[in-house]
Amino acid sequence: MRLASAAPAAGGGGGGSGDLKSDQAVWSRASKDLGGLSTSVKTGVSALETGQKGAAPTGVESATAQAELYQSWKTYLENLAGKCAALRGPLEKAGQGQYENDEAIRGGFDQIDAQYKDTPATGGDGGR
């Protein structure tokens, strides 16, 4: 398998034209799909919260671990939904060509990455 712009094995020029084409409809669709994903994740968080009600009897060690796990997943899913929602704008702008260059696009995505960090691992006695 060879990339279109890679030079052929026998020498000579690459097979690609060198012009990268971007389809605005693809970027818009990706943005819209992230919005749907964000909504689905929020629905999952709501179901998780409903299932958690009354699930933690007091004085049981496994209940404490389960409560920690629940909180960890809730935080993770809320951040995931927020990240999906936050990525919609940059994707839409990238498709519309409103960012002036690759560095500006990268900066937009870097800001989102800085805001939404993965949650630290939980469980066991390591966090105490």
Q: Select from 70, 85, 78 the least CA-distant residue to 118.
A: 78
Report in angstroms the alpha-carbon separations of 68 from 21, 33, 49, 55, 123: 47, 31, 13, 12, 7
pLDDT at 101: 66
Rounded mean pLDDT, 84-106: 79
Q: CB–CB of 105/94 below 8 Å?
A: yes
**Contact criterion met (CB below 8 Å) for 112 and 91:** no
Return mean pLDDT, the chain.
78
> Looking at residue 24, what is its pLDDT?
76
The answer, yes or no, to whether residue 7 has pLDDT greater than 70, is no
Spatial CA neighbour of 107 closest among 126, 90, 123: 90
Per-residue pLDDT, 41? 95
Which residue in the block uniquely carries the two structure tokens 């709501």? Answer: 46
Residue 2 has pLDDT above 60, yes or no: no
Residues 6+ apart with CB under 8 A from 117: 79
The confidence score (pLDDT) of residue 80 equals: 94
**pLDDT tens, 29-87?**
999 999 999 999 999 999 989 888 876 666 677 888 888 888 999 999 999 999 999 99
Question: What local confidence, expressed as pLDDT, does residue 1 receive?
Answer: 47
CA atoms within 13 A of residue 111's CA, in its CB half-sphere = 9
Q: Is the pLDDT of residue 98 over 60?
A: no
